Structure 1
């Protein structure tokens, strides 16, 4: 199925690895013009070396409002506008309440909220001009299903889910759709690093299957970045024109909420 991205421009943050990189590659393959950014511009360029399609890359700190504004403006000038945004910048803080200090709480909330607000505000004038303006915020199942060992991250994820719903309502009058993709355990660099540091005698497939069983994932495995990218592209697509304010779980059934 043609998802309708040909000739459209999409901004992707956190694009140098994992889900952001997979989304960038998939959108390019679907014919989109992609403006991709990451904190480490050199790493981003290496990751996308050889990528086919119309691509603009830049180093950009999503917590720096001026930097974000300049990046989005450059993308809009080069490609003639912005039709979509994928807010993917993020991280997880593995710590319980007792181990998380006040600054770490502030840092988690700043990253989860302002990495989205800065980009949406910068892109909004262009999204309003598009006939298919859309935003997808990459979130986590933690937003509805918190874990005590990820106390600050869980709370910040819940705040982002709430913010996404508010943005969807506020921007509906401008025909700009806003949705969430909520991830479970995805096979990205962080899990590969944890496997390598575990000194396990099993191969990664067996190790990750054991992890999936321990975490209660019904499908019995970790997800892939490409599986998440497909969900992102589907919600971003003009073909999803009547979907806004929604959240799509990509977690192999790990979510327990109704």
Structure 2
């Protein structure tokens, strides 16, 4: 199926690895123009390539509103506008609530909320001009299913899910759709790092299968970044023009909420 993304311009944050990288690659394969950023532009340039006329890369810390403004403006200048935004930059803090310092709580909330607000505020004038504007916030199933071992991250994810719903209503009259993709356990660099640090005698497939069983994932495995990228592209597609304010869970069935 043609998703109607050929010639569309999409900005992707946190694009040097994992879901952001997979999303950027899939967008390029669909014929979209991609403006991709990450804090480490050297890593980004090494990971992502594409047709010179369809790809714009830049260094950008999403918590620096001036840097975000510069990158968004330059991206819109390069491609003549913006049709979509994928807010993907983020991380998880593995700590229970009483092992989480006050500054760490603030950092988690800042990253989950302001990484989205900075980009959206900067991109909004161009999104208004698009006939198929779409914003996808990459979130986590933790937003509706808290995990005690990720207390601050769970709370911040819930705040982002709530904010996304608000934005979807406020921006609808401007023709901008806003949706969420909520992840479960996805095989990205973070889980590979944890596997290496674990010192396990198992190979990664067996180790991750045990992890999936421990976390109650019915499909019995971790997901892949590409399995997340596809629903992201689906929500970006003009064919999804009647979808806004929704959240798609990508977690192998781990979600327990209705």
* Pairwise same-fold verdict (TM > 0.5): yes
Q: Residue deviations 1:164-195, cap 9 Å, x none? A: 00000000001100000000000000111111
- What's the RMSD between the two structures over aligned residues? 0.7
Q: Secondary structure at the match of 2:28?
A: helix
Q: Tell me what 1:42 maps to.
A: 42
Q: CA deviation at 1:199?
A: 1.5
Q: Please give the TM-score of this superposition, normalised by the length of structure 2.
A: 0.98
Q: Tell me what 1:242 maps to.
A: 242
Q: Residue deviations 1:210-248, cap 9 Å, x none? A: 110110000000000000000100011110000000000
Q: CA deviation at 1:32?
A: 0.5
Q: CA deviation at 1:196?
A: 1.2
Structure 1 stretches lacking a partner, 5+ long: none
Q: Secondary structure at the match of 1:77?
A: helix
Q: CA deviation at 1:51?
A: 2.9
Structure 2 distance, partners of 1:52, 1:86, is 20
Spell out the pairing of 1:82-231 with structure 2 (5 A cutoff).
82-231=82-231
Q: Secondary structure at the match of 1:34?
A: strand
Q: Residue deviations 1:117-173, cap 9 Å, x none? A: 000010000000000000000000000000111111000000000000000000000
- The number of residues matched between the two structures is 257
Task: Could you list the structure 1 runs, at least 4 aligned residues long, displaced by more than 4 angstroms after superposition.
Answer: none
Structure 2 distance, partners of 1:109, 1:194, is 24
Structure 2 distance, partners of 1:108, 1:199, is 28
Structure 1 stretch displaced more, 83-92 or 93-102: 93-102
Structure 1 stretch displaced more, 94-103 or 8-17: 94-103
Structure 2 stretches lacking a partner, 5+ long: none
Structure 1 stretch displaced more, 188-197 or 131-140: 188-197
Structure 2 distance, partners of 1:211, 1:13, is 28
Q: Residue deviations 1:64-101, cap 9 Å, x none? A: 11000000000000000000000000000111111111
Structure 1 distance, partners of 2:168, 2:93, is 27
Structure 2 distance, partners of 1:189, 1:51, is 22
